[in-house]
Amino acid sequence: MSASILFSLVIAYFLILLFVSWKTGKGSNNESFFIGNRNSNWMLVAFGMIGTSLSGVTFVSVPGAVGKDAWGYMQVTLGYMIGYVTIALVLLPLYYRLKLTSIYDYLLKRLGFLSYKTGASFFILSRLVGATARLYLVVNILQNTILDSFGVPFWLSTLIILAMIILYTFEGGVKTIVWTDTLQTSGMLLGLIICTIYLLTHMHLGLGESFHAMSEKGLTRIFNTDPNSKNFFVKQIIAGAFITITMTGIDQEMMQKSISVTNLKDSKKNMLTLSVIMVVVLGLFLFLGGLLYLYAGKEGIAVSGDALFPEIALHHMTPMISVIFIIALISALFPSADGAMTALTASFCIDILGMNRKENWSEAKKKKVRQLVHLITAFSFLIMVLIFKWINDKSMIGIILKLAGYTYGPLLGLFAFGIFTKRKVKDAVVPIICIVAPILCYLIDENQKKLFGGFEIGLELLVINAAITYVGLLIFSKKQVELEK
């Protein structure tokens, strides 16, 4: 399949997104951009959030990691389900009761102004790093498979893709994204299923035979029973639960879609439905990963990690499968990037600039400021993607989860303190506590062999970070007789 044809498919796909944006963005205002006028359909939100949660990193990194970790990622996935249930039962009722546009308004009401600003700032940092790492991976694949042949430099490729995202999110925001994410999730899942069926057919394997072949090569192992290992199943399940609570439940990007649903009951349905679908979809990604390694062994393909799926799909499958792979890949790219850009724009406007509290600002002025912030956010994405290009890590899912442990930990500590205690924190010291906690976690991580011997800390670093933040808040707090409801 020529690069010109593949490039034409990318352009055609983008034009479809523009059409959806035009249809859904009519009559949009700031409320449409931020929370979709609170009338989003819960089924569309649940389905679209699959694409946002998974992204292009999951599409290539989870199957690619099977060669090293077998199906060990399922341990984290089981934790994800626990996290989604916790969000549905604990966090969503809180957000709906307070009628929040930005979920970090909760920190303002409960802890204070500086706590609020600190929480929002950590979200902006966390989402900027995580979203751009995901964006880098997919742009890099598109660069290597299509754009290099046109002589387009990497920085320009990234700029063009970001311009595409700006065009279809500029007006409608969340109102548009709910629909475009549904379209894109469909493309990603269709690509996943078709590629899986193709591999089974090509290798003349039934489901039972494929499981047996994977098992013989040690590719189906799920549970790690070594308590000292960083992949010990208890650690991974706990880490998965807290990763979901933080990267979904206290993440403005994910929650702005959930709170755009008309009522709490439907929003809970959205989250609980998502919890079940995610386990099934990630299980299918792991199964695909096993098939890819069986295929690579059979064909003598000496590629692994993030490069495995693109290598097989684009160079060892039929041209039609190559087309499907590219469509699925860009379907995985856009939901992660468009939602992050919109959420960062919303959080900066509402939480940092305090747009909703500026009664002397007209709606027209607010819209102009929001559009300017959206453009600045896109430029920030460009800079961060170029940084990740310079780092050039071979397995992005590992680095994303590691960075999340440092940046989301203080957020988790702040929300846990607010929800589970009735103490009044000294607001002025909160920013210091939230900066010190990740630094201490880094020192613990770098010196864990000296501190713990053979015991390894993995993804549970997020929990340790939150615990340090929580303890710091406890130390600098006092009892509060009356807690504002």
Q: Helix, strand or coil for residue 424?
A: strand
Q: Which string of DSSP letters, residue by residue, matches 103-147?
A: TTHHHHHHT-HHHHHHHHHHHHHHHHHHHHHHHHHHHHHHHHHTG
Angstrom distance (rounded) from CA 159 to CA 344: 18
User: What letters, b where the CB count within 10 A reaches 16 and e where it falls short, cover 15-31?
Assistant: eebeebbeebbeebebb
How far apart are the C-alpha atoms of 255 and 395, rounded to whole Å? Answer: 27
pLDDT in tens for each of the 485 residues of the chain? 566 777 777 778 778 777 776 666 555 555 545 554 455 666 666 666 676 666 656 778 888 889 888 999 999 899 999 999 999 999 999 888 888 777 888 899 899 999 999 998 988 888 888 888 878 877 887 888 777 888 889 999 889 888 888 877 666 555 666 676 777 778 788 888 999 999 999 899 998 999 999 999 999 999 988 887 878 888 889 888 988 898 888 887 778 777 777 788 888 888 898 888 889 989 999 999 999 999 998 888 888 887 888 889 888 888 888 888 888 877 766 666 777 787 788 888 888 888 877 777 777 788 788 888 888 988 999 998 898 888 776 556 667 767 777 888 899 999 999 998 989 999 999 999 999 999 998 898 888 777 776 666 766 788 889 999 999 999 998 876 444 44
CA-CA distance, 73 to 284, in Å (whole number)? 12
- Residue holding tokens 């790690």? 224
DSSP secondary structure string, 264-323? HHHHHHHHHHHHHHHHHHHHHHHHHHHHHHHHHHHHT----GGGHHHHHHHHSS-HHHHH
pLDDT of residue 114: 93
Q: At what angle do helices 430-446 and 396-407 cross, to 10 degrees?
A: 140
Per-residue pLDDT, 481: 47
- What are the chain's domains? 3-394 (1.20.1730.10)
pLDDT at 366: 80
pLDDT at residue 485, as a whole number: 42
pLDDT at 345: 83
In this prediction, residue 483 carries a pLDDT of 44
**Rounded CA separation 157/164 (Å):** 11
pLDDT value for 177: 67
CA proximity to 436, closest of 474, 472, 387: 472
